[in-house]
Amino acid sequence: MRMFYSINGIVFLFAQIYLPLNASEVVTDGQNINRARKVKPKDFNTVPIFDYQEIREDYKSAKMRYIFLDFDGVLGPKRPGSRDRQDKTVVRALRKLSANPNNKVWIITARYWEGLPDFIRNIPGIHLGEKVGTQIHVPKNEKIPKLPIFQEKKTLMKGKISKIFEELNLEGVEIEDEGNYHLEYKLKNSLPTEQANESAKDKLLRAMQVEDEKSQKNKEKDGFRNYDWHFYQKPGEDMCHVLLSHFDHFHKGTLMGAVLQTIKEKSLFAVSVGDTKEDEPMHELMQSNDKLSIQRKLVDVSTSDHIESEFS
């Protein structure tokens, strides 16, 4: 049995959990969603089926509920030009969930600080973890979760990348952002005329690849082998941006772990909802704590985006 929902399906589902409805009455796009698949991490095909009623009862009986949501592809479309289009059903569901004092609704996104649209940011009681959970906003009178700090690792990496910048003699290098698990720089991309056949990005990438190979060969505990890096350019500017992020900590599961560690309440309902590989650390953390996770996969059905939702 395979079930497909519209982009708002799962949000609508959770908005209904605490309403006086039977599971059979919860319908999205004309499809009954009273049953779901129980799955193992990274195995979304051969799975047994159980009643959705069990999830609803767990939710209703819990004294505290923690709901961790991705944004793009879960609460909003991924299509270019429509990512920030407001969906009243989504906003209404989030407002209702966040208004309940027993609920803690977190939106954890790869978008940077204040990258989410205002109609999401202004929802009373909402919790935000932007830049994969490293830039945190919580309602007034709530403490910000403390993320683990690995200053020694970051200092080591900062020294390595600074040495490369110096050796390449690149111009206009500035540190643009710095967090517990990432470093972000910007630099002038064009080189002098005598080097016009390549860019600063080309030189930097080549040098970083060499360092990565050294790190792998020497089996270094820390260094380039522990970091991922991304290059990007903004339209119309002659600047190269490079983001270095630590594999083990720069992901959405780090914030979720910090939040769950502060919970003393034993009667707890927790769920993660995501749709991409970036969300896997959230699901893995839920699995390890025997909690609910939902993997939503985009499926090509005619000309519109649909969602496959699977519970575990």
pLDDT in tens, 278-290: 557 776 766 666 6
Rounded mean pLDDT of the chain? 70
Locate the domains of the chain by residue range: 4-148+250-311, 151-246
For residues 5 and 273, give the distance between their C-alpha atoms in angstroms, rounded to a whole number: 14
- Non-local (6+) Cβ contacts of 179 within 8 A are 131, 134, 135, 250
Q: Which of 50-59, 75-84, 283-292, 294-303 has the lowest mean pLDDT?
A: 294-303
For residues 281 and 70, give the distance between their C-alpha atoms in angstroms, rounded to a whole number: 12
pLDDT at 287: 66
Identify the CATH class of 4-148+250-311: alpha beta
pLDDT at 289: 61
Cβ count within 10 A of residue 126: 21
Strand ranges for 22-179 from DSSP E? 27-28, 31-32, 35-37, 49-51, 64-69, 103-108, 127-129, 135-137, 174-178
Q: Which of 51-55, 60-64, 136-140, 173-177 has the lowest mean pLDDT?
A: 51-55
Contact 28, 12 (CB under 8 A): yes
Sign of the CA dihedral running 277, 278, 281, 282: negative
For residues 219 and 51, give the distance between their C-alpha atoms in angstroms, rounded to a whole number: 49
For residues 53 and 179, give the distance between their C-alpha atoms in angstroms, rounded to a whole number: 42
pLDDT higher for 224 or 139?
A: 139
CA distances from 221 to 162, 195, 206, 217 (A): 19, 36, 22, 11
pLDDT at 218: 78
For residues 120 and 116, give the distance between their C-alpha atoms in angstroms, rounded to a whole number: 7
pLDDT higher for 138 or 280?
A: 138
**pLDDT band of 307, cuts 50, 70, 90:** very low
- Measured at the CA of 110, the angle between CA 108 and CA 115, to 5 degrees, comes to 90
Contact 241, 185 (CB under 8 A): yes
Is the pLDDT assigned to residue 26 strictly greater than 80? no
For residues 44 and 137, give the distance between their C-alpha atoms in angstroms, rounded to a whole number: 33
48: tokens are: 């047994």
pLDDT at 125: 96
pLDDT in tens, 233-251: 878 888 888 888 887 777 7
Contact 161, 244 (CB under 8 A): yes
pLDDT at 126: 96
**End-to-end Cα distance, the chain:** 16
pLDDT at 103: 92
